Structure 1
Amino acid sequence: MIGDILLEVVLPVFVLIGIGSWMQRVFRLDLYTLAKINFYCITPAAVFMSMYHSDMSGELLGNVTLFYALYVFILYVIGTLVARPLKFTKSMRAAFNNSIMLDNSGNYGMPINALVFKGDPLASSMQALIMSLQSLLTFTYGVISIQGAKLKGNYRSMIIGFLKMPVPYALVLGIVLHAVHAPLPLFVSQPLTYAQQSMVAVALLTLGAQIVKYPLKLYRVDVYISLFLRLIIGPVIGVTLVFALGMKGIPAQALLIASGMPTGVNTSILAEEYNNEPDFAAQTVLISTLFNIITITGLISLAKMF
């Protein structure tokens, strides 16, 4: 089973990440443009189509939202408790909590989900919802925590960033049109389908190009503490919540796998934007993504038992 997972899920993901890294080194890709294409076109289209074709009931939607809220709250509490004896500065505490709470559920989690579940509408819509909630968390708590540490209460950019996010609008619109059974004309549905189908390749190529810009450093203990909480404790919390909420089958499997994503690229982007521990943030993104080769393989194997 582990060999099949490595060959059919993990290896295809990291082949594309590797190609993206190679292309960045050779061609110096425009990362700003790539990020915008993902953020404003491909990801919203994938979220919308996932929710429009969703098999999620209202009850399941509520359970997924509850799972995610409890999941990030527990991570926040653990991160805060771990940071105290380490005597982190205020800015470092913000960067540390962001590194364990803001994961890569978008341009890594969505492709993993698509490969594991073979495009199953229910699993896809659940990951789309998780990604949307993650985006909301990034541009609310993620920005506020850094602003509290660096900008002392200037929240104007956070509000603007939140209102500019296309993913929540796509999420709500997809849910509404699904609920009222509104048909989509072909000239709308076909371009959205094309964009959705391109998501896996474009997202992973972009991720590979993004992480290669950071030099790898293997000596920071604080990075490994973040890595342990993100890749080991995160899935432990996920398993516990899945059992506590009585979830089984595809919903349980999708949530469990979603709980094991590496640190999100947005963590590094926010750190660079506000000059808040950018080196630490970059290292957590890079090293957690590399170590995730091992942890996501084990987590997918575990999820198959549910």
Structure 2
Amino acid sequence: MIGDILLDVVLPIFVLIGFGALMHRAFRLDLYTLAKINFYYVTPAVVFLSMYQSEMSPELLGSVTGFYILYVLALYGVSMLVSRRLKFSRGMKAAFTNSLILDNSGNYGLPVNELAFKGDPLASSLQALIMTFQSLVTFTYGVMSVQRAKSGGTLKAALIGFLKMPVPYALVLGMVFHVLHLPLPYFISKPLGYIADSMVAIALLTLGAQIVKYPLRLDRLDVYISVALRLLVAPLIGYAIILLLGLRGIPAQALLIASGMPSGVNSTILAEEYGNEPDFASQTVLISTILNIITITALISLAKYVG
């Protein structure tokens, strides 16, 4: 069982991440352009098709929304307790919280979901919804937390940044087309399918190029605390909420796996953009992604017994 998951799900993902790392070492890939391709080209197509082809009922949509709200609030509470106990500065508290609540549900989570559930439409739409919620949190709370830590940013600036993102519009449009049973013309559906099919390769190549940018360091206790909370405590919180909401089957399995993603690259991007603990942020992303080989294998194995 575990061997099959390693060979069929985890190993393909890290092979592609490795290719991205090697290509960046050899050619110094333009990370800005790669990020734009993922964010404005590939991800909106995946999100739109996931919601358009979704088998998610309104009741399940409400349950997933409730799950995510409780999940983020619980992680925020944990981060505040730890930050207070360790007497973090204002800037470090913001970076630490972002490392917990901003996970890599996009260019890592979507491929994991795709391989673990073999392209199941319901599982894909659940992960696409979680990724959209992550984008909302990233460009509202995530941005505001580092802005306020450094220069007193405003809610208005964060919301403007969020409204510039294509993913929420793709999500809403996909849901509208799904609910109204609107057919997609072939000249639209076929290109969207081609773009979506490229998601796994492009997203993981980009992730490999992003994480190899940062040199590995093993001398920061706060990084290990963050990684332990992100990879071990976060899935336990996710599982408790799944039980609380009475979720079963594929929704329970997909949400449990989604709760075990490594820290997101966006936390590093925000840290670099505002000069707020960039070394801490980069180390949490790098180390949590490496150790996720072990934890995501265990989660996928355990998910079969959830619900």
Is this a same-fold pair by TM over 0.5? Answer: yes
- Indicate conservation of the 8 Å contact 1:272/1:278, yes or no: yes
Task: Give the CA deviation at 1:159.
Answer: 2.9
Q: How does 1:159-238 map to 2 (within 5 A)?
A: 159-238=159-238
Equivalent residue, structure 2, for 1:88: 88
Tell me the SS of whatever aligns to 1:188. Answer: helix
* CA drift at 1:148: 1.3
Amino-acid identity (%): 70
| Post-superposition offset of 1:155 | 4.7
CA contact (8 A) 1:147 1:155 kept: no
Q: Equivalences for 1:218-297 in 2 at 5 Å? A: 218-297=218-297
Count of paired positions: 306
Rounded Cα–Cα distance in structure 1 between residues aligned with 2:61 and 2:159 = 26
CA contact (8 A) 2:49 2:192 kept: yes
Which secondary structure state, in structure 2, belongs to the residue aligned with residue 123 of structure 1? Answer: helix
Residues 220-274 of structure 1, C-alpha deviation per residue, up to 9 Å, x if partnerless? 0000000011000000001111111111110100000000000000000001011
Separation in structure 1 between the aligned mates of residue 280 and residue 139 of structure 2, nearest angstrom: 20
> Are residue 146 (structure 1) and residue 151 (structure 2) matched?
no
Aligned to 2:64: 64
TM superposition score normalised by structure 2: 0.98
The alpha carbon displacement at 1:157 in A equals 3.8
Secondary structure of 1:127's aligned partner: helix
Q: CA deviation at 1:163?
A: 1.3
Does the CA-based 8 Å contact 1:17-1:208 persist in structure 2? yes
- Alignment match, 1:124: 124
Aligned partners of 1:274 and 1:157: how far apart in 2?
A: 14
Residues in 2 aligned to 1:152 and 1:71: alpha-carbon distance in whole angstroms: 27
* TM value normalised by structure 1: 0.99
Is residue 98 from structure 1 mapped to residue 98 from structure 2 by the alignment? yes
Shift in Å, 1:151: 1.2
The alpha carbon displacement at 1:120 in A equals 0.2
1:6 shift after superposition: 0.3
Relative to structure 2, which stretch is displaced further, 254-263 or 140-149? 140-149
Alpha-carbon distance between aligned partners in 2 of 1:212 and 1:224, rounded to the nearest angstrom: 19
**1:14 aligned partner:** 14
Structure 1: tracts of 5 or more residues without a match = none
Inter-partner Cα distance in structure 1 for 2:232 and 2:61:
26
Superposition misfits of 4+ residues, deviation over 4 angstroms: none
Provide the alpha-carbon RMSD of the alignment.
0.8
Alignment partners' CA distance in 2, 1:226 and 1:260? 13
Q: Name the SS of the counterpart of 2:56 in structure 1.
A: coil
CA distance in 2 between counterparts of 1:194 and 1:136 reads 26
| Unmatched segments (≥5 aa) in structure 2 | none
CA distance in 2, matches of 1:112, 1:159: 29
Alpha-carbon separation, structure 1, partners of 2:267 and 2:215:
16
Q: Deviations over 1:143-166 (max 9, x none)?
A: 111111111134554233111111
- What is the CA–CA distance in structure 2 between the aligned matches of 1:73 and 1:257, rounded to whole Å? 18
